[in-house]
Chains A and B, each alone.
Chain A
Amino acid sequence: QQQVKQSPQSLIVQKGGISIINCAYENTAFDYFPWYQQFPGKGPALLIAIRPDVSEKKEGRFTISFNKSAKQFSLHIMDSQPGDSATYFCAAFSGSARQLTFGSGTQLTVLP
């Protein structure tokens, strides 16, 4: 039972372009929404995160947009670089359940 749905499964973007990854969740008990970046052979690394009482958060080239009423959130990567090529996971954290629920991942390829 997938509680966090992520799309697209894969994404190819030209260098300098904008990468957009979308996620939707079902459980309203989630109280924190992080995005993770994972390179081959490595564990996920926290990229940026947002609380549901905030509609947007920006850190450098990375922006999360959050729509609480629609139960959707997205990651925007501005000025995408080849070094951004990785798998990105959205996730939702439940403090009461003390666990992260991950999306299925998006494999991003940024062409030089």
Chain B
Amino acid sequence: DAGVTQSPTHLIKTRGQQVTLRCSPKSGHDTVSWYQQALGQGPQFIFQYYEEEERQRGNFPDRFSGHQFPNYSSELNVNALLLGDSALYLCASSPEGQGSYGYTFGSGTRLTVV
């Protein structure tokens, strides 16, 4: 049973560029949440997608946007990259209604902005 799959695993981008990160949720999960984890810090909630719509958003600027597809997979887009966007980006999937009980995290995408 495949868990949450994220791609790519590592990425290096230049300041000002745009990046797209991808997430395939665990089988049977229909809700996808994205978190940013800076080095040495705990993950911070970016947003959550359910039924192809952004349902909840954390304290992140509009440069961060996302999308959820009919097969429940999701993308995180970051525009106008800043050095401070360098972090591990985590995707977590869950079945609707189980809250964080059913959260399964992927291994993340390590983004480095130079």
B41 A105 Cβ-Cβ under 8 A: yes
Contact partner, B42, options A42, A45, A49, A103, Cβ 8 Å: A103
B56 A93 Cβ-Cβ under 8 A: no
Using C-beta atoms within 8 Å of the partner chain, give the interface range for chain A. 20 to 34
Give the residues from 6 to 47 in chain A that come closer than 8 angstroms, CB to CB, to chain B: 6, 32, 34, 41-46
A100 B41 Cβ-Cβ under 8 A: no
The answer, yes or no, to whether A99 is at the interface (CB within 8 Å) is: yes
Residue contacts A-B, CB under 8 angstroms, 25 given: A32-B99, A41-B107, A42-B108, A43-B90, A43-B92, A44-B43, A44-B90, A44-B105, A45-B105, A49-B101, A91-B100, A93-B100, A95-B99, A97-B56, A98-B48, A98-B55, A99-B56, A100-B35, A101-B45, A102-B42, A102-B44, A103-B42, A104-B41, A105-B40, A105-B41
